Amino acid sequence: MNTLAQTFEANWTDPVAAAVAHDKVVAAVFPEYRPDLARNLAHQLGYTFHDFRREVMQGYGWEAGAIPLEQLTLELKGHSRNGGVVAFNVEALLAAKTDSERRAWLRVLARQDWPHPVVLCILLFPQAVAETPGIVTVELDDTMLPQPTLLGRFLR
């Protein structure tokens, strides 16, 4: 099978789909930065893809790190009202916060009443997410993920 066809296989998304069938907040922990797979995950689940860094933080320029975590919550709530959402690059804001701020935000996130599921694509802070009650963590292993296409490597 060629690499392009492998990219669109759904079987690697099955563990995430199973988790969102039972829980509202799921962290899909990726072994590497893969925007192509995050988009594919949203497509396979029938969810909205929300790139927080590109869609929100980029407009703030050098001040983006000062965005309060509450704004991230409001963004996710807004998307969740319309259906499930795969949230990508939320760690761009989380990285600008202290560990205690990140963990407090994750606890608040887990306690929210979500209309539809929220899937967080996680790479940098898997331990903090895994230790948060109410957030289901699905670790995506390198061996189960499709290899990036040559074009996908250039677009990163």
pLDDT at position 100 over 90: yes
Q: Using one digit for the tens of pLDDT, what is the confidence trace for 140-155?
A: 988 889 987 655 555 5
Return the pLDDT at 142.
87
Report percent pLDDT > 70 for the chain.
88
What average pLDDT does the structure give for the chain? Answer: 90
Return the pLDDT at 147.
81
Q: Using one digit for the tens of pLDDT, what is the confidence trace for 1-45?
A: 334 444 445 599 999 999 999 999 999 999 999 999 999 999 999
Instruction: Tell me the C-alpha distance between 145 and 90, whole Å.
Output: 21
> Domains in the chain, start-ordered, CATH in brackets?
24-142 (3.40.50)
The count of other CB atoms within 10 Å of the CB of residue 36 is 17
pLDDT at position 116 over 90: yes
Instruction: Tell me the C-alpha distance between 60 and 13, whole Å.
Output: 33
Pick from 10-19, 115-124, 135-144 the range whose average pLDDT is largest.
115-124
Length of the chain: 156
Return the pLDDT at 9.
54
What are the structure tokens assigned to 110, written together? 């887990």
Distance linking the first and last C-alpha atoms of the chain: 23
Instruction: Tell me the C-alpha distance between 116 and 79, whole Å.
Output: 9
Residue with tokens 């061996």: 143
Q: Using a cut of 0.85, tell me whether the model's pTM lies above it.
A: yes
Return the pLDDT at 7.
44
Contact 49, 143 (CB under 8 A): no
Distances (CA, A) of 69 to 29, 57, 98, 154: 20, 12, 11, 31
